[in-house]
């Protein structure tokens, strides 16, 4: 009989925090030993060693993990099903100076994928048409009317980017008009693939590349590597430097919330280096519009630049983002960036109003019994462009998958869903399509989109609850807060944060390190900003101070505790980052949770 494994002891003896969670050490005994070995045999600090070990990195992998290279991690593009046929067809279009059209999605990943392909083809003198569908009037993916316009304008080759895997009808229509169609995508699919000339998608059922964690821009980059190889074998000496396009891949990888592991980490690290040079006028203009301080980092891309690109697709001209990312003219880029900045401000206003309504409905539905495992909410008051944002905010607040559906006057609805780790929302949506419960839908594990007709809302809700209740229960039961290490306000220096950042970029699949600050005080807490953030000063017993903030905390248990317990000893947990202000670096602590010390 194997010995019983004791459950981990609560970190700092916190068994129920302000958010109702138990705090646990991220490192089990084996990881703790690995961390000690990394610190002893390398020049890495004990804190960095714990961060590495807590992410499954052993002593022999530590240095490689800290300095990932695309050369070492890039697989042969031909491992992707249909890659060779697709690359040959694009190479032929380049050789024949063919009229090409690009059909993308209206989010950041779609915009970046289209910009990658447009810039690549432009290097060879091609000037592709680009069509980004209107979210409200056209919806997601190719449609026959738009395809007709592209073909009527001369396109003989249509490339879909970040879409197309489930677009059987429109692709068949394009083929019937003698246009070739290539699909570059990453969304989940059933076995009935459309009859495209070639379809590259690491998540198609017959693909065994193991690259399903890539976003569409990552897949597009691999396509360009494959096309370069074809052209080189044909003796073409005109070859663009693909490394200069990695800023677009990094932007899409972060904004599409795909796992920051393996090749994706290398894409982001190298892409950030490119982005910081300011070569892409669109990204540089958006950074100015967003008033970014300091060198571009993953937070800037994901929370400042990405939302502004998305704003065009949500409530304005869906093509603005793609157009901006393909511009080389600084003045034009600044003009479009200003437009997107204004749209983003309007989007924020619309979002705040919709989230308040949705949270009120969700709160009533959950009540005292904790409610259903999946929230499916609908309203005629919501703009379709902010449905995904509503779902994201409520998923964070109520710790369960959420679908927000904007209803039209005729009773039809379009919506977006956001999930939680361990709950595959995309597969459940595809099943709903197969069962005829909804008109259209697709996505991936963490996010999905749907289109419903009148009368389908109830059956769709029932399907999700039945299909996902077990996995949601398991996921919510595992909501303990993992702590990487304990620190003090004095020990949280800029040098330490820079050291920790070497294990990044952090995000999906590579968790942001969480640190506990035992028995510290929160002083001068106050609500700041339109989002209801609570800022304060974290102080230790020796008088050291640390700038701190709890985002969107007003009215939550964390915010209430901060505002009511001035100068009392508390345990704090959260993340660290570098704040740049007027050219000076300062550490900022972002609170994740608070707990009262046991007495």
Q: pLDDT of the chain along its 599 residues, tens only?
A: 444 455 667 999 999 999 989 999 999 999 999 999 999 998 899 999 999 999 999 999 999 899 999 999 999 999 999 999 999 999 999 999 999 999 999 999 999 999 999 999 999 999 999 999 988 888 888 999 999 999 999 999 999 999 999 899 999 999 999 999 999 999 987 668 999 999 999 999 999 999 999 999 999 999 999 999 999 999 988 899 999 999 999 999 999 989 999 999 999 999 999 999 999 999 999 999 999 988 999 999 999 999 999 999 888 889 999 999 999 999 999 999 999 999 999 999 999 999 999 999 998 888 757 889 999 999 999 999 999 999 999 998 888 999 999 999 999 999 999 999 889 999 999 999 999 999 989 888 889 999 999 999 999 999 999 999 999 988 887 778 999 999 999 999 999 999 999 999 998 889 999 999 999 999 999 999 877 899 999 999 999 999 999 998 998 899 999 998 777 899 999 999 998 877 789 999 999 999 999 85
Residue keyed to tokens 């982001």: 268
**What is the enclosing helix (H) or strand (E) of 428?**
helix 425-434
Strands in 239-301 per DSSP E: none
Query: Two tokens at 319?
Result: 């093509």
pLDDT value at position 3? Answer: 47
- Structural contact between residues 150 and 166, judged by C-beta atoms closer than 8 angstroms: no
pLDDT value at position 416? Answer: 95
C-alpha to C-alpha distance for 220 and 116, rounded to whole angstroms: 7
C-alpha to C-alpha distance for 507 and 250, rounded to whole angstroms: 13
The separation between the first and the last C-alpha atoms of the chain, rounded to the nearest angstrom, is: 39
pLDDT value at position 327? Answer: 97
Query: Two tokens at 74?
Result: 């890039």
Residue keyed to tokens 């999605």: 105
**What is the enclosing helix (H) or strand (E) of 170?**
helix 168-176
Residue 208 DSSP label:
-
Residue 386 DSSP label:
G
Q: What angle do CA 59, 64, 68 make, to 5 degrees?
A: 150
- Cα distances from 277 to residues 244, 247, 270, 272, 296, in angstroms, run 10, 10, 11, 9, 10
- Complete domains list, the chain, with CATH: 11-54+484-595 (2.40.50.460), 72-276 (3.90.1640.30), 278-363 (no CATH), 373-477 (3.10.310.30)
C-alpha to C-alpha distance for 181 and 164, rounded to whole angstroms: 10
- Cα distances from 476 to residues 12, 90, 393, 481, 490, in angstroms, run 22, 46, 17, 12, 35
Alpha helices in 54-103 (DSSP H): 62-66, 70-73, 83-95
C-alpha to C-alpha distance for 315 and 320, rounded to whole angstroms: 11
Q: Which residues share a beta bridge with 589?
A: 548, 576
Q: Which residues share a beta bridge with 198?
A: 182
C-alpha to C-alpha distance for 564 and 570, rounded to whole angstroms: 12
DSSP-assigned letters across all residues of 447-492:
EEEEEE-TT-HHHHHHHHHHHHHHHHHHHHHT--EEE-EE--TTT-
Residues 6 or more apart whose Cβ sits within 8 Å of residue 347: 307, 310, 311, 314, 315, 385, 386, 389
Phi, psi of 404 (to 5 degrees): -115, 125
- How much of the chain is in helix, strand and coil states, percent to nearest 5? 45, 20, 40
Pairing of strands 440-444, 402-407: unpaired
pLDDT value at position 8? Answer: 66
**How far is CA 10 from its chain centroid?**
31
- Structural contact between residues 300 and 290, judged by C-beta atoms closer than 8 angstroms: yes
Nearest to 88 by CA among 115, 75, 96, 104: 96
C-alpha to C-alpha distance for 64 and 540, rounded to whole angstroms: 36
Residue 476's Cβ-count burial label (10 Å; 0-12, 13-18, 19+) is middle
pLDDT value at position 2? Answer: 45
- Structural contact between residues 184 and 160, judged by C-beta atoms closer than 8 angstroms: yes
C-alpha to C-alpha distance for 19 and 481, rounded to whole angstroms: 10
**Residue 127 — left, alpha, or beta (φ > 0 → left; ψ -120 to 50 → alpha)?**
beta
pLDDT value at position 582? Answer: 73
pLDDT value at position 243? Answer: 97
Pairing of strands 198-200, 481-483: unpaired
Strands in 62-138 per DSSP E: 100-104, 129-131
**How far is CA 424 from its chain centroid?**
15
Residue keyed to tokens 């607040």: 397
Nearest to 587 by CA among 547, 549, 551: 547
Query: Two tokens at 505?
Result: 């970029």
- Structural contact between residues 164 and 102, judged by C-beta atoms closer than 8 angstroms: no
Rg of the chain in Å (alpha carbons): 25
pLDDT value at position 439? Answer: 92
Query: Two tokens at 263?
Result: 């090749």
C-alpha to C-alpha distance for 77 and 120, rounded to whole angstroms: 17
**pLDDT tens-digit series, residues 52-77:** 999 999 999 999 899 999 999 999 99
C-alpha to C-alpha distance for 422 and 428, rounded to whole angstroms: 13
């Amino acid at each position: 009989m194997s010995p019983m494994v004791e459950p981990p002891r609560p970190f700092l003896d916190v068994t129920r925090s302000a958010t109702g969670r138990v705090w646990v050490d991220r490192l089990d005994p084996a990881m703790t030993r690995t961390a000690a070995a990394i610190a002893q045999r390398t020049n890495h600090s004990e804190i960095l060693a714990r961060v590495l070990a807590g992410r499954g990195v052993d002593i022999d992998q530590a240095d490689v993990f800290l300095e990932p290279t695309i050369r070492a991690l890039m697989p042969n593009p031909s491992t992707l099903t249909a890659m060779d046929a697709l690359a040959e067809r694009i190479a032929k279009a380049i050789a024949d100076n063919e009229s090409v059209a690009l059909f993308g999605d209206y989010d950041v990943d779609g915009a970046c994928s289209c910009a990658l392909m447009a810039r690549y083809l432009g290097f060879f003198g091609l000037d592709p048409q680009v069509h980004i569908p209107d979210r409200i009037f056209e919806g997601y993916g190719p449609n026959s009317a738009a395809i007709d316009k592209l073909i009527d304008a001369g396109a003989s080759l249509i490339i879909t980017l970040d879409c197309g895997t489930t677009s059987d009808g429109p692709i068949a229509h394009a083929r019937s008009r003698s246009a070739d169609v290539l699909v570059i995508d990453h969304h989940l699919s059933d076995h009935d693939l459309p009859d495209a000339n070639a379809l590259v998608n690491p998540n198609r059922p017959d693909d065994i590349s193991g690259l399903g964690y890539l976003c569409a821009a990552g897949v597009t980059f691999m396509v360009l590597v494959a096309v370069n190889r074809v052209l080189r074998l044909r003796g073409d000496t005109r070859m663009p430097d693909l490394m200069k396009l990695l800023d677009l891949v990094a932007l899409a990888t972060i904004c599409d919330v795909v796992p920051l592991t393996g090749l994706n980490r290398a894409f982001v690290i190298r892409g950030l280096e490119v982005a910081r040079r300011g070569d892409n006028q669109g990204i540089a203009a958006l950074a100015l519009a967003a008033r970014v301080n300091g060198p571009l980092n993953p937070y800037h891309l994901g929370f400042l630049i990405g939302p502004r690109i998305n704003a065009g697709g949500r409530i304005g001209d869906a093509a603005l983002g793609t157009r901006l990312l393909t511009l080389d003219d600084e003045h034009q880029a600044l003009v479009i960036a200003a437009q997107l900045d204004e749209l983003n401000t309007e989007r924020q206003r619309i979002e705040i109003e919709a989230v308040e309504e949705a949270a009120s409905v969700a709160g009533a539905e959950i009540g005292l019994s904790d409610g259903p495992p999946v929230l499916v909410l609908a309203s005629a008051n919501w703009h379709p462009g902010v449905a995904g944002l509503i779902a994201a905010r409520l998923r964070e607040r109520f710790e369960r998958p959420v679908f927000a559906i904007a209803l039209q006057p005729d009773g039809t609805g379009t919506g977006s869903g956001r999930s939680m780790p361990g709950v595959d929302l995309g597969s459940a949506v595809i099943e709903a399509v197969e069962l005829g419960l909804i008109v259209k839908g697709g996505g991936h594990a963490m996010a999905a989109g749907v289109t419903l007709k009148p009368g389908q809302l109830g059956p769709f809700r029932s399907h999700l609850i039945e299909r996902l209740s077990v996995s949601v229960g398991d996921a919510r039961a595992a909501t303990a807060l993992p702590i990487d290490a304990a620190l003090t306000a004095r020990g949280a220096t800029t040098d330490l944060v820079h050291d920790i950042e070497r294990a990044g970029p952090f995000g999906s699949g590579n968790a942001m390190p969480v640190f506990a600050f035992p028995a510290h005080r929160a002083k001068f807490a106050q609500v700041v900003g339109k989002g209801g953030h609570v800022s304060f000063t974290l102080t230790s017993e020796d008088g050291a101070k640390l700038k701190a903030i709890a985002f969107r905390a007003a009215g939550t248990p964390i915010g209430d505790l901060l505002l009511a317990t001035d100068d009392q000893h508390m345990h704090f947990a959260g993340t660290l980052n570098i704040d740049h202000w007027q050219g000076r670096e300062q550490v900022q602590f972002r609170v994740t949770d608070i707990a009262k010390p046991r007495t």
